[in-house]
Chains A and B, each alone.
Chain A
Amino acid sequence: MENKYYISGQRKWEIPNLKRLILWVFITIIAVSFLIPIIWIISGSFTSSIDLVTKHPRLIPEKPTVQNYIDVFTTNKTQTVGRPLLNSAIVSFSTVFLTLLISSFAAYPLARMEFKGSQFIFVLILLGLMIPMQVSFISLYLLFNSVGLLNTYTVLILPGAISPFGVFLLRQFFRTIPKELEDVAMIDGCGRLKTLYSIILPLSVPALLCLGIFTFLGSWNSFLWPLIVLTKSKMMTLPVILSYYWGAFAGVNEWGTLLAVSVIASVPTILIFLLFQRYFVQGIATTGIKG
């Protein structure tokens, strides 16, 4: 009888059996209804725009078609989706790469070297954790405007690649790596730089992966900053082009086109979530980072 309540170590507080059944029904209904909008958007993207308006809504398309996808890549009325897709990919992957590089470089001395001013710099970085990026968007926009860098990859990538959170996360992680490993490498004649990339970084894969995932999600989904700094359609990223398409196509009921672009914009983040769900959950649970 006692054991009924504590079968696995993970469960701490349990509801009796009949109530568990009711709870199961409830949570299953909730889970399925959470999925419905996503299923709907996918099925809608395989339905022609005319059917979407004239036929009654259904979860599985009556006459499935890939025409919407062909349209958005080829004959779209304003701008095909290929370029925005490429822009989003370039911006996101560069942001991830630069964030990991710059953050691990900055985190290493803060975790492992003793030098004057390290406390001050660390506090300065903690301060950055508390400042919401958005409040400096106006002057950041004016700054990039004054050097003529609006509508460039630089303006899309650089601000996102400076992550006080990343430095903080990696510093904490680097400190958990046994110092002896590093000492051995140093005795073997490795410099600091070589120690970082041959000892510290290979041992920090979980932390780097976690930072990489959240940086990618944040960059791929970033909306307000690209919306502010982009005016040329050939530089636009997927979320921005989507909001422009919406203004142009919703009025004329071109929903099929819009849904196909939406699916294209969502596939990478959904895949990453499904592949790395564990890191995603741990990242939020241990650090309170927002995607």
Chain B
Amino acid sequence: MLKLIQNEWMKLWHKNGTWMMLIFLVLFIIVPGGMMKYQETKNAENTTWQEVVQQQMNFYKDILASEELSEADIKSFEEKIAIFEYRLANNVPIQLETTVEDFMSFASNWIMLVTLFTVILAASIVSSEFSTGTIKMLLTRPISRAKVLTSKLITVFLFGVLLLIVNIGVSALTGFVLFDATTNAELEMVDGKIVEKAVWGDLAYSYLLACGDFVMSTLFAFFIGSVFRSSSLAIGLTMFLSFMGQMIVSLLSKYEIVKYIWITHSNLKQYETGNLLVEGITMPFSLTVLAIYAVIFTVISYMSFMKRDVTA
């Protein structure tokens, strides 16, 4: 099995596209980092933090007074104002410049890109063997089809994890080179009390939650790619579902069934923000639904790959 993965890994890195993905991922972190730094040095102002806090507080108060807002928005603005008042009263300064943590939490958005690139590989790793005809060479070896497919699936996830490590590593590195670590407390309101925010913990948690979408998209693309042997269909469909997923869920929201499709659950970040796509779902329930679909996608991929007559 190790040799098979070694084979897949070798093929992967001999394709130009793979290196392009890696370069893109790195550039998408470094370039915005540089731009942020440049903007900051250019616009450096001599204002005290108290002035900034006062300004922002007034801004929020104006909005609260002038516009019609939803209850959730009103609550969040009021919380913000409460935190600002707390800062002024207790002399807790606000961070005026971008910090390493800020930058890394910005870069954590590029897990989207990690997912996209992994989906591209997952979609094409089986179908490309069919379209180039190399599948005939691959399957006339003393290796069962199940093992061949397993090696490919493992390779896809290895690649995904590698991209994730690159994403975190490069953003940490860029962050520490360009920005300073935070010295002032980040505050948030929990159950009506103002507490210090666990910045690093939150960042790790948001990465963890993003893995839900990452794993489901990858498995879905792998499933479509190996069943229909079309990488473009697999990439297209996966992207469509991740962009339009929310809309589909809201269209179906009247029906009970919406709770049992995976796109309702794959965005686990809904538990972080609290804006649930559907009422009445919980984290354990979501994880169960996702696990069931993950198994379904994988089993169908294997069945179709093992039973198929190869005519490519």
Tell whether A and B belong to one assembly: no
